[in-house]
Amino acid sequence: MGQEYQHQLDDLFLKIAQLEAVVRSQQQTIDAQQERIKQLESALAASESALAAAKKNSSNSSKPPSSDIVKPKKPGTSNKVNAQNQDGNNQDGNVSGQKKCGGQKGHEGHFRNEFAEDQIDEVIEHTLTHCPHDDPVR
């Protein structure tokens, strides 16, 4: 019986040694993973910082307009109709392509009411000396 217990005891010590080797291996893996996590967190923080700086312009920060990065226009795009902001909306707040700027067809205009005769103090007539469209200075 003594030999059988000794054999069982030897088997247990062998199993303990194997488990200790597994634990050491797992600890090395954990240490390597923790180091990699630190590297990735550092890279992520740098990327987030660079992205935040890239998104800043004169309209959403205290940066001067001269520091805004101007991207070249794509060929075939016009100034007002296709000018989009980050939301995909044009300058009027409409999704690009829905409506053009200015008065829309079929929309009834709104005009200022004329002054009554008793509200007018003085009438000044202005005349042009030349056609403003033909003036090369303008």
Tens of pLDDT, residue by residue over 3-61, are 888 999 999 999 999 999 999 999 999 999 999 999 999 999 999 988 887 787 778 88
63, 56 contact by CB (below 8 A): yes
Name which of 86, 55, 52, 50 is nearest 68 in CA terms.
Answer: 55
- 78 Cβ partners below 8 Å, 6+ apart? none
Percentage with pLDDT > 70 across the chain: 77
Q: Taking 60 as the threshold, does the pLDDT of residue 98 lie above it?
A: yes
DSSP-assigned letter for residue 67: G
Identity of residue 112:
R
- Put simply, whether the predicted model's pTM sits higher than 0.75 gets the answer no
More confident residue, 83 or 29: 29
